């Protein structure tokens, strides 16, 4: 799913369901951050696969840890923004790192079902996940995942309103 918000569907729903486990903003950023790779390939058109090294669990781990470091360094202003959306939460460095790893790994896995150029288990060249699910199944899953995410967010807003009255 090059440069699409589809990864936010499953990750936002899961992040809201498991709000005490995941750092929500880190989860949302990390589940799309590796799409900087296909974006740059599309824009710059280098001799490089659309889904290259960042779309592997090995290099995705590096991207996740760098993302976690950035999210940890900017957590104070991010938490102010999240609080405005009634999504404030306390986070630790470990919680941020785990959320970043989960977000990146979910991205690699979902894209591995779709694209033949992904080598998720690099340096192994084979993609064992390719076509386990059809493209339409993966896209429907990601798209429809926004529905429970919106319901969960609405529930959080209603609960936050009840606490203020």
Per residue in 93-114, pLDDT (tens digit) is: 999 999 999 999 999 999 999 9
Q: What average pLDDT does the structure give for the chain? A: 94
110, two tokens: 């979902």
pLDDT recorded at residue 161:
82
All residues at 6 or more sequence positions from 118 whose CB lies less than 8 Å from its CB, including other chains: 51, 55, 56, 108, 111, 112, 127, 130
Burial of 128 (0-12, 13-18, 19+ CB in 10 A): exposed
Per residue in 129-149, pLDDT (tens digit) is: 999 999 999 999 999 999 999
Asked if pLDDT for residue 121 goes beyond 80, the answer is yes
Per residue in 59-69, pLDDT (tens digit) is: 999 999 999 99
Asked if pLDDT for residue 164 goes beyond 70, the answer is no
Per residue in 18-32, pLDDT (tens digit) is: 999 999 999 999 999
């Amino acid at each position: 799913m090059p440069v699409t918000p589809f990864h936010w569907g499953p990750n936002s729903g899961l992040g809201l369901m498991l709000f005490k486990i995941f750092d929500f903003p880190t989860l949302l950023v990390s589940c799309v951050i590796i799409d900087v790779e296909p974006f740059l390939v599309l824009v710059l058109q280098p001799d490089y696969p659309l889904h290259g090294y960042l779309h592997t669990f090995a290099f995705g781990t590096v991207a996740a840890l760098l993302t976690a470091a950035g999210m940890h360094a900017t957590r104070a202003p991010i938490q102010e923004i999240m609080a405005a959306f009634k999504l404030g939460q306390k986070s630790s460095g470990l919680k941020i790192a785990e959320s970043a790893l989960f977000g990146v790994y979910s991205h690699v896995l979902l894209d591995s079902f779709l694209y033949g150029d992904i080598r998720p288990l690099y340096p192994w060249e084979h993609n064992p996940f390719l076509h386990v699910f059809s493209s339409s199944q993966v896209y429907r899953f990601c798209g429809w995942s926004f529905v429970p995410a919106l319901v969960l967010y609405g529930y959080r807003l209603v609960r936050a309103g009840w606490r203020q009255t």
